[in-house]
Structure 1
Amino acid sequence: MKKDNLPKQEFLFGKRNYIIMLIGIAVIALGFILMAGGGSDDPNVFNPEIYGWRRIRLAPTLVIIGFGIEIYAIFANPKK
């Protein structure tokens, strides 16, 4: 069988969509990185830093924004 007769395989999304998806994944990863830490080495000592603005407000907001970017990347028209 000749290779010329085989149908050309295409990706599900366009290049623009994949770039937007990578940006969304980076924003989600940044949110999870900002959420990490804040614990204490000694279990008898409470560290109030776990309730800091960065872990309670900023990090979850970045994760939600990242998921929004992912949804946009899925629905964006690759032909534009």
Structure 2
Amino acid sequence: MNKKSNLAFGKKNYILMLIGIGVLITGFTLMTLDKEEYGFGVLGLTIGPIVVMAGFIIQFFAIMHKPKEDK
């Protein structure tokens, strides 16, 4: 019995989206952990934004990835 799913994304898309959300949360958390005044330290200006950008790139690929169709 082979049913075609009506969902827009496949299982791999949703897994990548969850990973991307986790990376985004990690990046924003890193920016808040900066102890320098107004977040002007290494975490707030360099590492945190790079991790957040990586999270958005993962989300982009999660949305654009086309699931393989089973025949």
Same-fold call, TM cutoff 0.5: yes
Identical amino acids, percent of aligned pairs: 41
Cα deviation, 1:14-71, whole Å, max 9, x if unaligned, reads 00000000000000000011111447xxxxxxx5483111111000111111000000
Structure-2-length-normalised TM-score: 0.78
Q: Secondary structure at the match of 2:53?
A: helix
**Residues in 1 aligned to 2:28 and 2:52: alpha-carbon distance in whole angstroms:** 7
Structure whose alpha-carbon radius of gyration is higher: 1
In the aligned structure 1, how far is the partner of 2:47 from the partner of 2:19? 17
Runs of 4+ with deviation above 2 angstroms: 47-50
Which residue of 47, 64, 74 maps to 2:63? 74
- TM (norm. structure 1) is 0.70
d(CA) in 1 for partners of 2:34 and 2:25? Answer: 17
Cα deviation, residue 13, structure 1: 0.2
- What is the aligned-residue RMSD (CA, Å)? 2.3
Where does the alignment leave 5 or more consecutive residues of structure 1 unmatched?
Answer: 1-7, 40-46
Partner of residue 10 from structure 2, selected from 10, 14, 35: 14
